[in-house]
Structure 1
Amino acid sequence: MDHLFQQLLDHAPDAILIADRDGTIRFWNHGAEQMFGHTAAEARGQSLDLIIPEKLRARHWEGYYRVMASGRTKYTTGLLTSPGVRKDGSRLSLEFSIVLLRDAQGDLEGCASIMRDVTVRWQREKELKQRLAACESGAPDPAA
């Protein structure tokens, strides 16, 4: 059964990554390679800053270290949304879930994230909101 789990992790189309308590990337699957443009060899051992837009890093690390210290997060259910950054510097919109990872004694070792690129959907929703606002205000449709 272990080989089936390994295949799931390695070949899932979503990005699956594991970071330790310090925020160092320890696992990076093929989906993460495709999404962010960094190979597993390039990403492993790097800080999560690799995929976090610079202006959001301080806020991210404040929350990350708070979770690592307390061992608790309110984000273990539902999806989080956040922008990310690819190797080429382009931005993407992400939805992701968090799994806290513990050792055999229950001590927090880090966390895993399962991420999906929702950039196309986010852009489409933004355009629809703009068109709706234009219709409601009587302004010409920006898409026309």
Structure 2
Amino acid sequence: MDISTPTMVFDTLLQALPDAVLVADRNGRIIMCNDQLSQLFGYKKSELIGQTVNILVPETQRKQHQNKLMNYMAEPNRRTMGKIMSLAGQHKNGGLVAVDIMLSPIILEDKTWVICSIRDISELQRLQLSLKHALDKEKKLARMDSLTNVANRRAFYEFAEKEKDRSLRHSLIFTLVYIDLDNFKLVNDRFGHNTGDKLLKMVASNTLHSIRSSDMLARLGGDEFGILLPETDAALARKMMTRLIRKLEKVMDENQWPVSFSIGVLTCQNANTAFEDLMKKVDGLMYQIKHQGKNAIKYCIE
């Protein structure tokens, strides 16, 4: 390295740095590096000195990197870490190493050199991925009923608000369904809460398999369920509810559970109405059934 700074002193400084570091000339040839670089990529220092930095670049990216290197060397500038967190280097054994880099051009005796600091961020990426998975799981759990594994009230309202807005934009019809289990308390009292939980799970499972993938089922609380049926008019809603109630009644009969269903069905042609008001109306339909003897479905068009 033909510069005035003593090579031994410069090498000592490189060894003292915590990151893997190399010094390259204008052609991208490695003229100095520290032991940390050797350890990170599995090469001896003697195997790196004189090679271009492409030896540390994944083989599939080397041609592209060569062009980037030429462009960078034409106008070298300082590049700090943290700008691109998806870089990778290639170990001697062919494996990839997640890295971040900092580039620091220096000019000594009218010659341009680039100091490249390379940091292994594999562990950081693993921690970030683990954190993302944990956050995704928390978000999912926050919107899921833990007993029945269907959506909860919060998720139902969020989905329904978006669907209502979509229906308004495109002049679409959708239908809301409110289901209440008649005599559910009797099951808990007579057979125990474990049986009550089993019943709720079976209602959720059978309902989920009776509706379309575009529909949404949620446990709104206790023994009450809600269904949102996008792009569903009154005639189609009636067919779907007839099929669903037959399936649910069969499950109750097979298990000898004294449970029936009071259901309100509201087909919404006017999506201008606030969703809270729509829920109050379909809830009111369900309670009308409750007060009139239970075990029926009441339909209404808004």
Gaps of 5+ in 1: none
User: Is it true that 1:45 corresponds to 2:77 in the alignment?
Assistant: no
- Structure 1 distance, partners of 2:59, 2:11, is 32
Total equivalences in the alignment: 135
Task: Give per-residue Cα distances to partners, 1:1-57, cap 9 Å, x unaligned.
Answer: 966543221343321101122221111211111111111100111121211112332
* SS across alignment from 1:114: strand
Select 1:104's aligned residue among 82, 87, 109: 109
Match of 2:73 in 1: 68
Looking at CA atoms only, which structure, 1 or 2, has the larger radius of gyration? Answer: 2
CA contact (8 A) 2:88 2:99 kept: yes
User: Is it true that 1:23 corresponds to 2:25 in the alignment?
Assistant: no
CA contact (8 A) 2:54 2:65 kept: no
- Structure 2 distance, partners of 1:84, 1:62, is 17
Q: More relative contact order in 1 or in 2 (CA 8 Å, sep 6+)? A: 1
- Structure 2 distance, partners of 1:50, 1:111, is 16
* SS across alignment from 1:42: helix
Select 1:59's aligned residue among 59, 64, 76: 64
CA contact (8 A) 2:38 2:45 kept: yes
User: Once structures 1 and 2 are overlaid, which stretch shifts more, 3-12 or 112-121?
Assistant: 3-12
- TM-score of the pair, normalised by structure 1: 0.78
Match of 2:11 in 1: 6
Select 1:135's aligned residue among 138, 156, 180: 138
Amino acid at match of 2:31: R
What's the CA shift for 1:77? 4.5
- Structure 1 distance, partners of 2:129, 2:20, is 24
CA contact (8 A) 1:93 1:119 kept: yes
Higher share in helix: 2
* SS across alignment from 1:129: helix
Q: Quick one: structure 1 residues 4 and 77, their matched pair in 2 at CA, closer, same or farther if it must change by over 3 Å?
A: same
What's the CA shift for 1:123? 1.1
* SS across alignment from 1:125: helix
User: Is it true that 1:126 corresponds to 2:136 in the alignment?
Assistant: no
User: Is it true that 1:78 corresponds to 2:80 in the alignment?
Assistant: yes
Match of 1:113 in 2: 116
Task: Give per-residue Cα distances to partners, 1:65-120, cap 9 Å, x unaligned.
Answer: 11212x233xx152154211111222211122111132323x5x331101111111
Match of 2:231 in 1: none
* SS across alignment from 1:41: helix
- TM-score of the pair, normalised by structure 2: 0.40
CA contact (8 A) 1:101 1:110 kept: yes
- Structure 2 distance, partners of 1:64, 1:101, is 16
RMSD of aligned alpha carbons: 2.5
Amino acid at match of 2:69: Y
- Structure 1 distance, partners of 2:36, 2:73, is 25
Q: Quick one: structure 1 residues 11 and 39, their matched pair in 2 at CA, closer, same or farther if it must change by over 3 Å?
A: farther
- Structure 2 distance, partners of 1:66, 1:33, is 27
Moved over 3 A (4+): 1-6, 137-140
Match of 2:98 in 1: 93
